[in-house]
Structures are given as structure tokens and as C-alpha cells.
């Protein structure tokens, strides 16, 4: 899948379609989730994008500038 096709799918798609595309692109791969704490979900919620990526990726690391949010995620 080329870069332009990916960007076009993301721009035109609904949130659920974007999540599905992200999960498709991350399946079985090593993934770095930059800004992983920047969503308004409980960290245990299966709808939280980081959890969705975690369920399909081979390896997942998350980083965020919000130190408090990262601490909460680790708890």
C-alpha cells in the first residue's frame, strides 16, 4: 500500500475506518505509538487506540510528553 493511498483513506474515512486502517498497518509489526496517552478513554477500555494496536502488533512501545498520563497507564 503506497503512502498516498494510505493518506487518502485516512482523510476520507470515518473514525472507525481510520482505526481499522491503523490496525491493518500495524498487524504483526513492531510499532511506536507516539502520543499514546492523548485520548479520552480509560486506559483499560478496548476502544482505546493503543489497546487496539497492542492486540494486533508484534511489539508495541508507547511514548507521550504527558508524564502523569504515562504514570497512570503504568499503574
Q: Which of 18, 13, 22, 10 minimizes the C-alpha distance to 56?
A: 22
pTM for this structure? 0.72
pLDDT tens-digit profile of 10-43?
Answer: 776 666 688 888 999 999 999 999 988 876 667 7
Supply the pLDDT for residue 53: 94
Q: How many C-beta atoms surround the C-beta of residue 12 within 10 A?
A: 9
At residue 60, the pLDDT reads 95
Amino acid at each position: 500500500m503506497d503512502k498516498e493511498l494510505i493518506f487518502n483513506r485516512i482523510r476520507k474515512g470515518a473514525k472507525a475506518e481510520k482505526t481499522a486502517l491503523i490496525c491493518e498497518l500495524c498487524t504483526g509489526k513492531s510499532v511506536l505509538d507516539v502520543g499514546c496517552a492523548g485520548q479520552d478513554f480509560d486506559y483499560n477500555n478496548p476502544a482505546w487506540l493503543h489497546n487496539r494496536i497492542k492486540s494486533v502488533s508484534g511489539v508495541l512501545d508507547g511514548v507521550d510528553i504527558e508524564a502523569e498520563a504515562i504514570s497512570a497507564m503504568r499503574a
